[in-house]
């Protein structure tokens, strides 16, 4: 490579890096604004001007909504393959969703329970104490976030990384049961409706592609059987939580 080629390559690389940082910055502004609107809705409308609980709730709704959007974006990338070029959005949505979930957990421990572990984990039955569902989801989401960099994907190999990230289905089912059971009254307002809509879109997309890909593999792949096990567990939990 002569000097001129090297210069051109460096310039292209620097431009790409600049676009990357600009995009990340733009996304961060969006995520903070999104949370701030959720906070204002909680503070002035839903949570009677109580700052502590408004923080707990705005972090929780922001986290669960952004994680749902991350999952839904995977389906969009498949429906409209040209959008797959923007795959980084999925990572940003997922990581920012986790950051809000982390703030939700810390603020809930502090504001709601004053770090009293005995009152948080008064029962380990998730249908009696839906915090157990949240506590199952949380470490999985943390592992996913910690492995969400190009460097880690390269170190782990794509296959191992993908297998780790398949745990998102367990985490997401746990998140849904957590927010449906813990305080259902909180879902009947604008943040709740947005969360429910995004959750329906994410679940629909996941089921659509699960069936489509399973059909392509003639319903014989390992993924198909794992998917059926997860769907069966979800049905059993739904029955136990809402019907029985
Ligand atoms: C150790 C883990 C967790 C704990 C201790 C916890 C605690 C809580 C508590 C106490 C509430 C009720 C707040 C209230 O009534 O004002 C709540 C609600 C909520 N949590 Fe969590 N949470 C955990 C994990 C998660 C995770 C990982 C998510 C996903 C982002 C999440 C999403 C939500 C949502 C959306 C709500 C509001 C919906 C509702 O109250 O029905 N939580 N959580």
Q: For residue range 200-216, list pLDDT tens digits in order.
A: 999 999 999 999 999 99
State how many domains the chain has. Answer: 1
Buried b (16+ CB within 10 A) or exposed e, 145-162: bebbeeeeeeeeeeeebe
Relative to the CA of 47, which ligand 1 atom is closest? 16
pLDDT classification of 4: cutoffs 50, 70, 90 = low
Q: Is the dihedral of CA 175, 180, 186, 188 positive or negative?
A: positive
Q: Which domain holds residue 162?
A: 3-243
With a 6 A CB cut-off, is 90 part of the ligand 1 pocket?
A: no
* 98 CA to centre of ligand 1 in angstroms: 12
- Identify the pLDDT of residue 244: 84
* Ligand 1 center to 123 CA (angstroms): 16
DSSP single-letter state for residue 86: G
Which residue do the tokens 């809705």 mark?
41
Give the closest residue (by CA) to ligand 1 atom 40.
Answer: 183
The band of 57, judged by pLDDT with boundaries at 50, 70 and 90, is very high
Distance 61 CA to ligand 1 centre (A): 8
Q: What is the pTM of this model?
A: 0.93
Read off φ and ψ for residue 222, nearest 5 degrees.
-60, -40
CA distance 92 to 204: 21
CA atoms within 13 A on the CB side of 81: 0
Ligand 1 pocket check for 55: Cβ under 6 Å: no
CA distances (Å), origin 207, targets 37, 178, 200: 31, 20, 10
């Amino acid at each position: 490579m002569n000097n001129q080629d090297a210069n051109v390559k460096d310039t292209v690389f620097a431009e790409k890096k600049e676009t990357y940082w600009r995009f990340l910055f733009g996304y961060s502004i969006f995520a903070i604004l999104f949370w701030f609107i959720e906070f204002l809705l909680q503070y002035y409308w839903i949570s009677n001007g109580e700052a502590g609980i408004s923080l707990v709730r705005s972090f929780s709704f922001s986290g669960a909504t952004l994680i749902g959007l991350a999952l839904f974006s995977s389906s969009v990338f498949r429906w409209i393959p040209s959008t797959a070029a923007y795959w980084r959005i999925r990572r940003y949505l997922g990581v920012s969703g986790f950051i809000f979930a982390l703030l939700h957990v810390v603020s809930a421990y502090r504001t709601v329970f004053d770090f009293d572990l005995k009152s948080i984990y008064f029962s380990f039955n998730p249908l009696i104490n839906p915090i157990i569902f949240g506590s199952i989801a949380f470490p999985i989401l943390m592992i996913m976030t910690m492995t969400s960099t190009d460097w880690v994907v390269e170190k782990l190999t794509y296959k191992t990384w993908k297998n780790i990230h398949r745990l998102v289905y367990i985490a997401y089912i746990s998140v849904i049961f957590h927010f449906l059971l813990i305080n259902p009254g909180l879902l009947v307002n604008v943040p709740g409706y947005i969360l429910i809509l995004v959750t329906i879109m994410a679940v629909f997309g996941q089921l659509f592609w699960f069936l489509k890909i399973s059909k392509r593999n003639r319903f014989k792949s390992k993924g198909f059987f794992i998917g059926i096990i997860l769907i069966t567990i979800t049905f059993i939990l739904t029955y136990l939580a809402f019907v029985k």
